[in-house]
């Protein structure tokens, strides 16, 4: 029956689901030391970017190859993200438990949350796709977030909805433990890939990207001094 053929939508759905489960497992295993979570996340994005482009092949070998390639830059970027996340947690704790200045702590927490989101939402996808320094990668994420603010806000809503879905109840939490991180990374990759391709086509964009520069006009918004992987 066509429903059960390898070309059927049902087969493709379960094939993609199995890929996400495998990717989630390897991401989790390689992130367990915590210090390697940045490299592991960049490696996972190298896979989800191909998924978003419908060009993925095998999962295991490309993942570990990308993990090894991103260790040097992914480790410090991951550490910055972890420190920022912990600082955000402390600020929210102070905002809800402090007897004084709780408003100031809440305002600081919101500002830090915005900075972390805009600085990191595209960072690991950028690290997976381009050969850049990790500081330049974070700055590029800020620039993209500002340039494409509408898409970035929509992406934030989708990430929040996915996260809420996976923690809605116990059965969904069980499903989330298998695929939640990889699903969220695939969602981000879909947005990021479209943006990257638009930037690469703009006049002034080159094959060797490092910094995304914007002086207010699309013609000068480009990627310089790096390499597209």
SS (H, E, C) 94-162: HHHHCCCCHHHHHHHHHHHHHHHHHHHCCHHHHHHHECCCHHHHHHHHHHHHHHCHHHHHHHHHHHHHH
Q: How many structural domains is the chain composed of?
A: 1
**pLDDT for residue 221:** 44
In-domain check, residue 59 = yes
Q: What is the pLDDT of residues 32-81, one digit of tens each?
A: 889 999 999 999 999 999 999 888 778 999 999 999 999 999 999 999 99
Contact 210, 132 (CB under 8 A): yes
**pLDDT for residue 55:** 82
Q: What is the pLDDT of residues 180-225, one digit of tens each?
A: 999 999 999 999 999 999 988 876 554 444 444 433 334 444 454 4
The CA distance from 53 to 184, in Å, is 16
In-domain check, residue 108 = yes
Q: What is the pLDDT of residues 166-175, one digit of tens each?
A: 989 898 889 8
The proportion of the chain whose per-residue pLDDT surpasses 90, expressed as a percent, equals 58
In-domain check, residue 229 = no
Structural domain boundaries, residue 96 = 2-223
**pLDDT for residue 214:** 36
Contact 113, 214 (CB under 8 A): no
Structure pTM? 0.84
Least confident span in 142-146, 152-156, 191-195, 224-228: 224-228
In-domain check, residue 228 = no
In-domain check, residue 68 = yes
- Scan for tokens 């809503």, then name that residue: 157
pLDDT of 177 above 60: yes
Tokens of 196: 């990257």
């Amino acid at each position: 029956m066509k429903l059960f053929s390898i070309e059927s939508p049902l087969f493709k759905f379960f094939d993609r689901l199995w890929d996400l489960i495998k990717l989630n497992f390897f991401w989790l295993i390689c992130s367990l030391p915590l210090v390697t979570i940045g490299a592991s996340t960049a490696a996972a994005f190298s896979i989800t970017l191909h998924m978003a482009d419908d060009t993925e092949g095998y999962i295991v070998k490309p993942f570990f190859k990308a993990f090894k390639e991103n260790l040097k830059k992914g480790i410090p970027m991951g550490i910055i993200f972890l420190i920022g996340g912990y600082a955000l947690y402390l600020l929210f704790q102070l905002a809800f438990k402090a007897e004084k200045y709780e408003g100031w702590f809440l305002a600081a927490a919101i500002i830090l949350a915005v900075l972390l989101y805009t600085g990191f939402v595209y960072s690991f996808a950028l690290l997976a796709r381009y050969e850049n320094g990790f500081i330049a990668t974070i700055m590029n994420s800020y620039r993209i977030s500002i340039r494409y603010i509408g898409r970035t806000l929509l992406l934030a809503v989708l990430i929040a909805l996915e996260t809420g879905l996976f923690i809605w109840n116990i059965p969904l939490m069980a499903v989330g433990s298998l695929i939640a991180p990889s699903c969220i990374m695939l969602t981000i990759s879909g947005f990021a890939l479209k943006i990257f391709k638009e930037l690469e086509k703009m006049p002034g964009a080159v094959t060797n990207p490092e910094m995304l520069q914007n002086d207010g006009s699309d013609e000068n918004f480009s990627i310089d001094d790096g390499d597209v992987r």
